[in-house]
Amino acid sequence: MKSENEIIDDFTAREYEFGFVTDIEMDVLPPGLNEEVIHFLSAKKEEPQWLLDWRLKSYEAFKRQKMPKWQNFEAPDVDFQDISYYAAPKDKPKYESLDEVDPELLETFEKLGIPLNEQKALAGVAVDAVFDSVSIGTTYKDELRKLGIIFCSMSEAVKEHPELVKKYLGTVVPPNDNIYASLNSAVFSDGSFVYIPEGVRCPMELSTYFRINSQNTGQFERTLIVAEKGSYVSYLEGCTAPRRDENQLHAAVVELIAMEDAEIKYSTVQNWFPGDNEGKGGIYNFVTKRGICKGNNSKISWTQVETGSSITWKYPSVILKGDNSSGEFYSVAVTKNHQIADTGTKMNHIGKNTKSRIISKGISAGKSQNSYRGLVQIGNRAQNARNFTQCDSLLIGNKCGAHTFPYIESKNKSAMLEHEATTSKIGEDQIFYLNQRGIDPEQAVALIVNGYAKEVLNQLPMEFAVEARKLLSLTLEGSVG
């Protein structure tokens, strides 16, 4: 029979499934970053002067920033001059309806399992698809509009709803927040914009799929979600990229704003190209995600399933400003081969009776390094604040590493914080038990891993939970048999 090592080798060596390239004529700006590029970008998108100024100011901030050193890996030496900051399908960058979209593009999204055709679309899910830098199409738009919900690409929002964009852009993640946020603020290409008016419960999942296709391009999308008083929205993003030998940069910024009694649920299934078995190529996924619970009784919940990227470096966070507001972070991060993940969250308790809950499940295999890094901060006015954190690490094989770096700070005596962490491995006895019941080793590992990650997967909207579960099994399973 196969030894445990063989099983592990098999499934940790599995190839990336979405590594194909779509052959489409692209408008690509030559590599390089300077003020002219920003002028070009802004002009191409016909942006108002204030946004151009904002971009230029961000670029100034970017030039002053230094690469941080506190992370648990050596920050790769990204040559910002070697990246193209604009790439878009050549013909018709704007579509009147989905019928006009290049069939090859539609096919790409079909291949990824994201049907843009509304008839075939997943029931109750509105999708915005972003291909390299440009939004390809948004489904269910009209239906949402009837409720007053705005769900469109960021470029469109800048044109159609400039007052909203201007009011909220950069208010949660300021342009000088960190080097990659500055870069994004200077050159962001597209992304999604969501606005839920007062008292409206968005009746369907909103979803964006990101696809990097071109070579030597970076993807810098910007997402902004505003939930007005008493509203609710659930949003999901997914991402893939072709296999390339070079590393590609993905530096997105996501800002969430929840007013009084509002709730935002943000889910990510991240499956960027992780590099090959030798660690060559793959996406640098350096993303700044932050939400603010601005109003009382508001709630923001992050759920992430991270299986791709050669380096994942992000901390979806919540600023709990409103009284009784709550923040949640549920994460599964799987690393294998030479992948690196340094991810976690920040919960910043400012208001009274604020609550946060962090569940992080790391799974490391191969030669990968998987770190949880989290900050829970209780300010001195955060009476009765509560936090519960659990972060577990699962090791598969002994060439990988699992690391836990929690920062727990309290300045309020009525606050209660609880943090627990464990490290364990998939027990041989567990695999054997399942084998004895007729389940093969590969499936046994998938079952155990899914069981281990269950608490997080359960947070995903149902349609995507199924997908994520499959993705987890696929990522770890390989071709045993």
State which of residues 34, 67, 451, 462 lies at the interface with another protein (CB under 8 A): 451
Interface with another protein by CB under 8 A: which range of 34-42, 160-168, 409-417, 460-468?
409-417
Closer Cβ to another protein, 176 or 450, answer by number: 450
Binding residue for another protein, selected from 80, 440, 470, 473, defined by CB under 8 A: 440
The reply to whether 5 sits near another protein by the rule CB under 8 A is no
Candidate residues 34, 424, 466, 479; the one interacting with another protein per rule CB under 8 A: 424
Considering the complex, state which of residue 380 and residue 479 has its C-beta at the smaller distance from another protein. Answer: 380
Nearer to another protein, 69 or 120 (CB): 69
- When binding is defined by CB under 8 A, the residue of 410, 465, 468, 471 that contacts another protein is 410
Rounded least distance, CB 432 to another protein, Å:
6
Closer of 149 and 363 to another protein (Cβ): 363
Task: Give me the least distance between CB of 434 and another protein, in Å please.
Answer: 7
Q: Can you tell me which of 176, 216, 296, 430 binds another protein, judged by CB under 8 A?
A: 430
Nearer to another protein, 20 or 405 (CB): 405
Among the listed residues 29, 52, 121, 408, the single contact to another protein using CB under 8 A: 408
* Least distance to another protein, CB of residue 62, Å: 21
Q: Which of 32, 147, 433, 466 binds another protein (CB under 8 A)?
A: 433
Report the alpha-carbon angle 267-271-276, nearest 5.
160
One of 13, 434, 463, 470 touching another protein (CB under 8 A): 434
Ranges within 67-96 binding another protein (CB under 8 A): 70
Nearer to another protein, 162 or 406 (CB): 406
Chain residues 319-378 in contact with another protein, contact rule CB under 8 A: 378
Q: Is 171 among the residues that bind another protein (CB under 8 A)? A: no
Q: Return the residue of 27, 447, 470, 473 that touches another protein, per CB under 8 A.
A: 447
The Cα–Cα gap between 317 and 323 comes to: 17
CB 221 within 8 A of CB 180: no
Smallest distance from another protein to CB 242, Å: 33
Q: Is the dihedral of CA 324, 203, 145, 125 positive or negative?
A: positive
The residue (of 53 and 418) whose beta carbon lies closer to another protein is 418
Which one among 88, 194, 363, 453 touches another protein, defined by CB under 8 A?
453
Kindly state the smallest distance separating residue 5's Cβ from another protein, in Å.
Answer: 11
Q: How far is the CB of 189 from another protein (least distance, A)?
A: 34
Q: Binder to another protein among 24, 121, 439, 474 (CB under 8 A)?
A: 439
Least CB distance to another protein at residue 397 (A): 6
Q: Which of 34, 428, 462, 479 binds another protein (CB under 8 A)?
A: 428
How far from 299 is each of 39, 198, 227, 413, CA to CA, in Å?
A: 38, 15, 10, 24
Number of residues binding to another protein, judged by CB under 8 A: 62
Torsion of CA 253, 254, 255, 258, to 10 degrees: -170
Site for another protein, rule CB under 8 A: 1-4, 70, 378, 380, 393, 395-425, 427-430, 432-441, 443, 447-448, 450-455
